[in-house]
Structure 1
């Protein structure tokens, strides 16, 4: 799977989606005039004192930390803030509705790569690179170079030239990162005399060996993960997809039915036979709760779930490993909760003050105590505070940093229609897991559906 810049031949996949979304934005805009940014001579946290901001965020450790420390921001800047948080599903629906309206009701919000692609294609989100580079608007010690390069790369995209991630506008600033790791129950493996698996083949074998055994009075499953037919299921599946060297779109056409992709699905289906039948409907939340309840030996999902594990009944019993390797090595997609600015905001200067404060070294270090794992800055990841917070979590701190530094990437072709493409794909993965189609049949149908979206 290519990293960083994607091949020019893949760019055409997003062209029509961008045009369609941009047209939608134009049709929904209320055409309210947006004032030009205020001219200031030098940076000062008080430059926009007296202004007020409205923020919309998902319920998450990022927003928990922000809410707790907002009085500090208000004192520092003289800017008053109203923060609204919603469950993740409700949040995404409301944010999309607000951005489509063009009202500018919320000045800044939490975002992610697929959300950025959609919003940038429609012209709803501000390119933050000019703000980063403006020394009169950005604190001299904010240190843009301190962010992990892979995170910044995943948040950049030139929506007009249909280039890969890592080029073009910077659509948000990273506040929270997740790569995808293999979790396992150390006590169960030790009792069975099984070493922590390093490869996909070893993982499938170990999960099969442990499936159905009784631990603490519970007949456990060998594995658990997400199986819901929506695109976030691609996050844990990405570890198999990338380990096989597969790609989603090649030459402007779907490649999810390539031999490499089908082989990844075949092995994912094998492993999911050792998960509970209900796992075919699991989102991350149900899968996480299943593992925390002691029902599974292995679990692949977001590495920053560690705090939830360690404060649960399985605390101290969880091992953390790199994603399992396959024919082409290791790989992990990434999800980056980040902070973006509404393109229709009439208070962009004040919004940028908030975004840089909430992604500063000082705030991200403080946010560790609120469970905001994993830090998006190198200095915070290597800080004494992070070391102390994870001291009793085995090798977790080393594993997540290695995943981010060596393996994590945005694994799919940037597109303003990625959620639609991803859903079409995961519906067929679910069908293969349930035995309704063979992996080849499922991926052939997925390719057909994705090509229809590209041609639409």
Structure 2
């Protein structure tokens, strides 16, 4: 385990490189000395957090931020759906009670940008009195920057925690069939069908079949065909030839190699099936890994492989989702709020988040840091898969306002495929149904 991190005063926070490494900072300690952390001492800021492991880590160490900066923090964690509603109501009022907001990128990015609710922090990031030199755009994964920036290239938030999609695979089942981890979609299909063995009671592949929840599975395939669900010009690509091929792949894997009843599976049912040791591959987010290595919950402890998404016909991509933390445009304490955001995504806090199993930082330097990795309870291969996924990260859902409607409508079409629907027919029907909804949202 990495050295235990106790209460961090300003003096210890700015201590030697060796001490910083022990904190999981990877030698970034002296760099913090260039930031005038005490400049806004006495300022009070409000922080609106999603109730989650990420929010809990921030609240747990909040006093350290106050010790470092002298800034008083009033933070609140609220369950996700309620937090989104509360944030929208207060931001719409023009005078929210909070200066910092925790946002879900794949749901709220477009909404927040169109409404102008976030402050542009691009200038703060270039100011050496406000930003330590290790916090650079290049340290965030490509998907993180796509989420954090608007179309004008302004940085409107800091990427906080990411969920890359990867393949969990059962090494024992692969070995029994003499199979190697697939490098391409084609090899993945071959392996899945070979692993589906009625006599052995095993299945080759599992992923979400439940409508709405299943859309990221299909987009994971679509990205491998080199296409986004909505292109750069705002055109729906959901009935394109590539989208139909991705739907065919979805249908084949989930009807030829998956457990019965998969049309009702969300991530929890998929995880349960994989935990039993009867499934060869499971496609989902990296954050669902810890129970697989828990002897009290899992029959596959020590048998799990963690693989980067195989290559598609035109690209290799890991569908990516995540959340960020930003300063509200209405805040009267933007610089102080920005210091909080910077602290939240710092190497120290990112290491804590990762080691606690509460999330994966968007910053590659945290994942690459040897001291941080020592304290991670998951196998090294899991971290390797996370790092590898970060290098091929692509947004897993389109950046649009009606994301829920998109997932509902496309999801129904995908679920229909599991009952024998025709991929081209279902994708065209879903596209026609969603198109006017998307057009209305952009005009609003």
Q: Same fold (TM over 0.5)?
A: yes
Q: Give TM-score scaled by structure 2 length.
A: 0.80
1:319 maps to what in 2? Answer: 305
Q: Deviations over 1:40-80 (max 9, x none)?
A: xx952222223333323234332232122112112112223
Given the alignment, which residue of 56, 60, 82 partners 2:74?
Answer: 82
Alignment of 1:427-446 (within 5 A): 427-435=412-420, 437-446=421-430
1:381 maps to what in 2? Answer: 367
Indicate yes or no: 2:284 matched with 1:301.
yes
Alignment of 1:25-424 (within 5 A): 43-114=35-106, 115-136=108-129, 138-145=130-137, 147-158=139-150, 163=151, 167-211=152-196, 213=198, 219-230=201-212, 233-250=214-231, 252-273=234-255, 274-294=257-277, 296-311=279-294, 312-313=297-298, 314-390=300-376, 393-405=379-391, 407-410=392-395, 413-424=398-409
Q: State the SS of the aligned residue for 1:95.
A: helix
Q: Deviations over 1:183-210 (max 9, x none)?
A: 1111222233332222223323333333
Does structure 2 retain, via aligned residues, the 8 Å contact 1:220–1:296?
A: yes
Deviating above 6 A after TM superposition, structure 1's stretches of 4 or more consecutive aligned residues are: none
Does structure 1 retain, via aligned residues, the 8 Å contact 2:182–2:188?
A: yes
1:181 CA drift (Å): 1.0
2: CA distance, partners of 1:93 / 1:433: 34
Change (3 A) 1:331 1:307: same
Does structure 2 retain, via aligned residues, the 8 Å contact 1:390–1:396?
A: no
2:23 maps to what in 1? Answer: none
1: CA distance, partners of 2:339 / 2:78: 23
Change (3 A) 1:288 1:345: farther
2: CA distance, partners of 1:298 / 1:357: 37
1: CA distance, partners of 2:355 / 2:398: 35
2: CA distance, partners of 1:210 / 1:334: 27
Does structure 1 retain, via aligned residues, the 8 Å contact 2:144–2:362?
A: no
Does structure 1 retain, via aligned residues, the 8 Å contact 2:58–2:344?
A: yes
2:17 maps to what in 1? Answer: none
Q: State the SS of the aligned residue for 1:395.
A: helix
Q: Deviations over 1:128-164 (max 9, x none)?
A: 223223344x133452245225144312444xxxx4x
State how many pairs are aligned: 401
Q: Which runs of 5+ in 2 are unaligned?
A: 1-33
1:277 CA drift (Å): 4.7
1:256 CA drift (Å): 1.0
1: CA distance, partners of 2:303 / 2:59: 32
Identify the range of structure 1 (149-158 vs 74-83) with the bigger mean alpha-carbon deviation: 149-158
Change (3 A) 1:214 1:339: farther
Change (3 A) 1:156 1:290: same
1:212 CA drift (Å): 5.4
Does structure 1 retain, via aligned residues, the 8 Å contact 2:353–2:360?
A: no
Q: Deviations over 1:282-340 (max 9, x none)?
A: 44344334433445321111124333422342331110112122221322221122112
2: CA distance, partners of 1:262 / 1:116: 27
2:31 maps to what in 1? Answer: none
Q: Which runs of 5+ in 1 are unaligned?
A: 1-41
2: CA distance, partners of 1:447 / 1:198: 31
Does structure 2 retain, via aligned residues, the 8 Å contact 1:235–1:334?
A: no
Q: Deviations over 1:368-390 (max 9, x none)?
A: 32224433223211111333245
Root-mean-square deviation over aligned CA pairs:
2.8
2: CA distance, partners of 1:156 / 1:81: 24
